[in-house]
Each structure stands twice: as structure tokens, then as C-alpha cells.
Chain A
Amino acid sequence: MNAVHRTTGEKLFDAANVVLLVLLAFVTLYPFYNILITSLNDPADAARGGITFWPRVLSFENYKMVLQDESLINAFVVTVLRTIAGTATAVLFTAAFSYGVSKPELLGRKLFLILAIITMYFSGGLIPQYLLIAQYLHLKGSFLAYILPNLFSVFNALIMITFFRGIPKEMEESAKVDGAHELTIFWRLVLPVSKPVLATIALYNAVFHWNSWFDAMLYGGESLRTLQQILMQIISSNSNVSLMASNLGMKAVTAESVKLATMVITTLPIVFSYPFLQKYFVKGIMIGSVKG
């Protein structure tokens, strides 16, 4: 666009545009910032309110309290394990299918694809899925209830198929001449050159597992609670405390401290890794939308 002559109206438009977008950036970031500074404030002092831009009485009391909590530490371990195991298995499982159907010569290729795509529009819904996992597969109380139902995603498969189709045929053919079969080619050749798309899908999966709480509530049981589930339980019990009695007793102060520190701990990994990861997220949705 040429910037030679701007009318007054256009200058006003540009100024308003900048102001509004900066405001949007502020509104996006402020909740995170507010939670962080309040969590770093002395809990009894924070209950007085008025903490807006910086902590009034700096204190790590909230974190000390939370980090002694064994159920939280257990939840941290469970969440890390499910994120690692769930991501690795889902990426591999989805990639294997996607590589197979990216080959035009595969028998039944169309049928497999249709079977997959139908599930994007129709689903059994919550209750039949629950009955399958809890009563037919008996996965209640098992760590596998976090892994198996999330092994595959049609949306992610479509992104991968688009990527695999773009890999030059010559590479695979020369490997075939050397006597390699598809399993070797997939593992040694295709996966290594597909790092960008694998990273994208891995990130989608990792965020999903890290943020999950509902399946943990349905299938997990006491020892398999996840971080977000614990946070959810704290928030819902807090909401009732603060709704019932607005004169905050010591109990409510403690509950709020635990909530704030837990919120920071559960969200920090995503916020901190975000600057490095966000380009992959966007890449993924672009590949996906080109196809659609």
C-alpha cells in the first residue's frame, strides 16, 4: 500500500486501529499477569483486594503451601506421564495410518478414508462412548483410559496425509531399489523428513493431554487425578465458598491461595513454551485449511 498521501480520515483510522489492537493485546495478557502477581502476594494481604499491577507484599507462601501437597505432586506426575505417553503414541499411530492412505495404490484406501471422515460429522455422543470405555473395555481406573481413546484423530490425519503426499517419490523409490520395505521406509525415511508436521501434531496432542480433566473425572479415580482436574475441583469448591459467605474467613483465604498457585503451576509450561511453539501451531492449521 502506498503511504504517500493519507487523508485525515485515514490517519484517524490508523491511530484508532493501533490503539484498539494494543488494547486487545493488553486484554489478552492481563488475566495471566494478574493471576501471577496475586499468587506472589501474601495471601492474607491479597484478601484485602486492590492488587492491580504489582504485588503489594511479595511472598512465596502460596507456593510453599501448594508444593507440600502430595495429591498435587501425584497429579503432576500423572499429567506429565499422560502427556508424554499420549503424545508419542498418538503421533505414531496417526502417522502410520496417514502414510498408508497417502499411497494411491493402497487397496481399500477410499473406504478407509470415508470411514474416517464420517466420524468428523457423526459421533455416538458422550454416553455410548462412556459405556464403551467403562463397561465394555473396562478401562475405568486404568491409565490406558487416557491413552487408547485418544490414539487417533481424523483432523490430524488429514494434515499428515497432505504433508506425506508432498514427499518426492524418488526418495522412497531409490530406497525400494535397495530392498527396503514400507515399514523401514516409513520409519527411517518418511518420519525423519516429516519433522515439521510431526512437531505440529505432537504439540496439538500435548496441549490436549496437558489440559484434560473431563476424562480424568469420568475414568481416572483418586490416584489418577490430573492437574487440571485438581484445579477444577479447587475452583468449584471455592466458588461455592465465596458464593455462600462473602465475608472471607481464613478458610477462604487458604482456598484462594491454593487456587492461584495451582493455576500458575499448571499453566506456566504452556505460557513459557508458547513463544517457541506458536509458529508450529499456525503451520498446522494452514496445511489443514489448504486441504479443506
Chain B
Amino acid sequence: MSPSLLVLLNMKKNLVLQLKNISKSFGKVQANSNVSLDLYEGEILSLLGENGSGKTSLMNIVAGIYFPDSGSVEIKGEPVKITSPKDAFKYKIGMVHQHFKLVDIFTATENVVVGLDKKTRASILEDSENVKVQETKEQPKENILKRVFNFITKSNLKDSADRIKNICNKYGFVLDPNKRVCDMSVSEKQTLEIIKTLYRGVDILILDEPTAVLTPQEIDKLFAVLRKMKEAGKSIIIITHKLNEVMDISDRITVLRKGELIGTVNKVDTSIEQLTEMMVGQKTELNIERSEPKGKEKLLEVKNLSVKNAFGHDVLEDISFELKEGEILGIAGISGNGQKELLEAIAGVQPIANGEVIYHRLKKNKPVSFYHKSLNQIKTLASEGAFHTSKGEKVNFEGITNFEIRNRVNNGEILFNDNETMLLKGKNPREIRELGIHLAFVPEDRLGMGLVGNMNINENMMLRSYRKGNGPFLNFKKPRDTAEKIINELEVATTSANVQVKKLSGGNVQKVLVGREIAYAPSVFMVAYPVRGLDINSSYTIYNLLNKQKQNGVGIIYVGEDLDVLLALADRILVLCNGKVSGVVDARKVDKRELGALMLGK
């Protein structure tokens, strides 16, 4: 007997959810075409696929957020129409979305009961297997004072809070029902979302990328809880693209690629290699070339940096590190631990409360030019003794005409003694640019921070350079050339440079943005989540571009979420936790577990 048959026999389980030939399109984009899927009682099914393969939209159909164009949904053998999340709860389906839908200033209990009317709440409490509900007779009319009192003391939510505690005990969650969401960590918020669905009595729980925001340790905890839920007879669907987790937790795995169903396999019959092949169409290995860092000179120095948010809380506290030329410094951390603020502070977008960002222009023994310095600046620097001649003599401009100084500078006879240091604190991106510092930045939100979606590729090229040239008018020629160059060299799939950027696919949008920043000839290059949402091929294009910049001596700061990529690409990794540096490690020597522990601040 084959192992799969054995599993089937052992299961003897009922079909709880069946999707038949589901298709859904958004405009011209076909999110799902003819996808069928089965879910049995008491199993964990992984929905696996790359970004944009239609996992989330398929599950949104089950959760009542979208309605399919064609195909049918059956619950326990009966065809149903789920037209709203309310319908979904009626059929005992609950979904935990990737972006939590919680009210920040409410407590856990309030978040759980919000949206439920009195009747539903009462019926849920009666249904509850564990809570003994006191016989609450229907009171004709509650005294208004009493209601206000109840509202203030929250005693009217006591039953609900008890039930939440019971749920926690039953499945092994740890959560304080009276804690406010704004005081919760990401994993607590996720716990709360799961409890919210359990409270409403779901049989089918859908989790959209639940592990994306968790540390390895927290993931273990989550999986333990999920196993307990499975034992209690609940069916769980996990959307993910992380293969090791899939192999860890699931009973069966359904793979989607580009909106189509590739197949469903039992975990015991399959391997990571087979799943990868199903996912991407061919076997690929995370095979990123990593060269040794070239130079040794410091490019960027961050000293005791602190940044406060709008409420005056520290989002970054006492951060110090160095970036050398020709190295990739990875920044790891659970998202929201200060990565965004760190990059923004360096780029001059975020005000710095304390500390300093120092840029070193590598000028040691290199000639002075009028490109960055005016004649007067050069004179002052010379009087301070910052230069020497090509013959190693001291420079003295006293008694020499301006014309002669110009000649000597233009001939390249005057050299810097040392690297120039520049303080970036308090300067905005434009001022930094005007200092001649080429600080390139690919922010996490491409269309919201880096590009303008409604503008075409040419116009987006202009963002960096539109100010160049005197006079009030724009120069259209150069951006057009840059755009052509990027389209050709990075193979951007577009009909012309006149296409609005928002109409390009995610990978091509990223190519345009990265291409523009590279065209800016950076000396420091900061990238945040550059491959988020990209397919494997586009991701490799980006890795290669970064590596090429590294070989050119550019210092790169790479903020990433995929630890495997960080370990393969970076030279050193700085780990952020709660806005503090919890460690700087050598990426060639560290492993994922250690990184995970640092991410948790241990």
C-alpha cells in the first residue's frame, strides 16, 4: 500500500469545503482560473504559490470578500453562495488577513465582540461548550445609568472575556483579554485575530501568510496552537510561500501557479524539491553569487542615532553602525521594528532626534575639482591645510592669483589629505543631493514613495533629475534617454516609455525604480524589501543588479524579510529589535536560528 492511501484510510474524514472550477478576474488580470480544492475535517491544508499566484484572492472568495465569476462553493456537500463575510461566518468560515483588521484603541475583548449584536453574542455564549452561562432573563429595559456604569466598567463584557480565556486555555494561546491592541506585539495581534474567529465559532479557519510577521520561535508557538485546533476537529487553510513551513505543518498541499491549479499532494508523498518545481515550474536553487567586499574605507557612519515618532516615542534608539565601500549590509528584523525609520533618517526624510549620520566622501589622495567645491571653499580648505600637491608638498595659496589656483586645480595637482566627512543630520534629500552625495533609495512602497503611478516611465525618470539645468523649464531629452536605456538593459516589459508606471507588473515597476536609482550613480544605495511581490526571475535580476553595484564599490544597505536571501546575499547583517540594534553578525557564519533569536532580542 502506498503511504498516501494509508493516510486516506487513517483520515476517514468528511469533506467540509469544496471549491469547484472557481474563476475570478479583475479587469484583464485573471486571478484564478478553474481552480478546484477540497478541504477535509480536521486537517491542515497549505495553499502554496508564489506571490501573485492567486492564493489570497481564492481564499477571499471563500471568506465572502470577492464573489467568483464562475464556479461553485460547497460546504459539507451543499452548494452555497457566500456574498459577504457575514455569510462566511454563517457557514462557520473565518479568515485572518495578512493585514490585521483590528481597532487599535480597543481591548482584545472589545475587538472580539465588535460588530456582534446582543442577540448573536448571547447565542454564541449559549453555544459555547465550556462556559456555563448564567440564566440571563430578558430585562425589559436596562436602566440607562446601569448601562453607562456597565460600559465604563466593562462588566457587560465579562462573559465574553471569560469565553476568550477559555478559548486561550483550550488551545494554548497566551493573551490578556483586557490589553489594548495598540499595546500588543504583532504576534499578539495575530493571536487575537485567530481568537476572534474562534469566538464566533468557526470550523474552517483561513490564515493568510501568518508567519510573515513572526520570528522562528513565534512560528513554532503558532504551529503548536494550530495542531491543537486540528485535533479539536477544525479545518485550517494556510496561505504561504515558505516551503519549510509547509513541510512542517500541513497534511496536504495545494499548489497554485499564475492563478491555475497545479495539483494537490499529500505531505508524506512529496518533497521540497517537488513542491518547488510545482510552484515555479522548474527546479531552482537559491543560488546568489557573493563576492568579497572590495574596499575597506568607511562610506557611511551612523552614530547613536535616535528617532522619535509623532507621539514622541522612540522608534529608533541609539543605533550605531558603519557601512564600508563595496559591501552589502543586510538589515534583519520583524517588520515595524524601525527599519523604515532607519532608512528614512539616513535619507533625510525622517527628522533625527539624536545622534549623527556621517558621510565619508572617499577623496584621500584624490584631486580636488570644481565639481563639488567653489573657489572660495577651496581657498578656505587650503588655508586649513586640507590639501597636498601631487609631489607631496604642502599647499599654500597665499599670494597666488585666482587664475593660477584655477589652473592648478584643473590640472589635478591639488590632492586631498584625507576623506571628506559630511554631516547629514538635519538635511533634507534635496540638500543632501546638492552636497553632491549620491544617496540612492528604493523605498518599500514603490508606487507610494519611489514612483508616481499615474506618470509614465519618462516622467518618473525625471523625479531624480528634473531640477538639473537653469531656468524654469524641464529638460525632457535626458530622462527619455535614461528611460530607453533602462528598458533595454533591464528588459522592462512595456510597449513604450510612455506607459503609465502603474500599468506595469510589480517586477517591471521595481526594475524601473531600481534602474532609475542606479542611473543616479550612487555611492550609497539603500533598498527596502526590493523583491517583495516579485517572481523568482525578477528577484534574481534585482540581486544581480545589487551585486554589480557592490563590485563597483557602492555601499549597499539591504532591508529584507526573507532570511534565506539575507544570509545568501549580505556580507554582514545588522539585526533590529524594538528600534535597537540587537546584533551585527557576519552573514557567512551565522544561521537562521541565531538570526531569529536576535530578532526577538535574545
Say whether A associates with B. Answer: no
B-side residues, CB < 8 A to A, are none
A-side residues, CB < 8 A to B, are none
